[in-house]
Amino acid sequence: MFLVDTNVWLERLLGQKQSEEVGRFLGRRPSNELFITDFIFHSIGIILTRLQKRAVFQQFVRDLFVEGGVSLLRLEPADMDTVLQTMDSFRLDFDDAYQYVAAEKYDLTLVSLDSDFDRTLRSRKSPAQA
């Protein structure tokens, strides 16, 4: 079970350098093994609409949630103390700490291209490793 980070989804959606590797990872995993947080979901919506890629965002929503079985997770306000502590403990930005705490709370493997997670206790897996 994998919590897939923002940069992994965007790598594929925007056809960036590691898009094929991400595609292989997504193709190997049934969608019911993939999770995304509300924070990632909304961040992707903001990024894609700012890039004038509304159709890409609409397809993303259809692929993940309407036709696929990807689950949407969220943290509660009570979890924010843990997010802030995680920021301090591992020198993470808020968005990375949010992802880390969600992975910990739901006992998921974090899949990310962000090496900041390498200095945490849970670390991360790249799409190729996952």
Q: What per-residue confidence (pLDDT) applies to 61?
A: 97
What's the chain's average pLDDT?
A: 96
As a whole-number percent, the residues of the chain with pLDDT over 70 amount to: 100
pLDDT band at 122 (very low <50, low <70, confident <90, very high): very high
Q: What is the pLDDT of residues 51-61, one digit of tens each?
A: 999 999 999 99
pLDDT band at 41 (very low <50, low <70, confident <90, very high): very high
pLDDT band at 109 (very low <50, low <70, confident <90, very high): very high
| pTM for the full predicted model | 0.93
| Separation of alpha carbons 76 and 20, rounded Å | 34
Domain spans in the chain, listed from the N-terminal domain onward:
2-119
pLDDT band at 45 (very low <50, low <70, confident <90, very high): very high
Q: What per-residue confidence (pLDDT) applies to 40?
A: 96
Angle formed by the axes of helices 6-13 and 38-50, to 10°? Answer: 40
CATH of domain 2-119: 3.40.50.1010
Decide: residue 21, CB within 10 A, 0-12 exposed, 13-18 middle, 19+ buried: middle
Nearest to 57 by CA among 66, 48, 65: 48
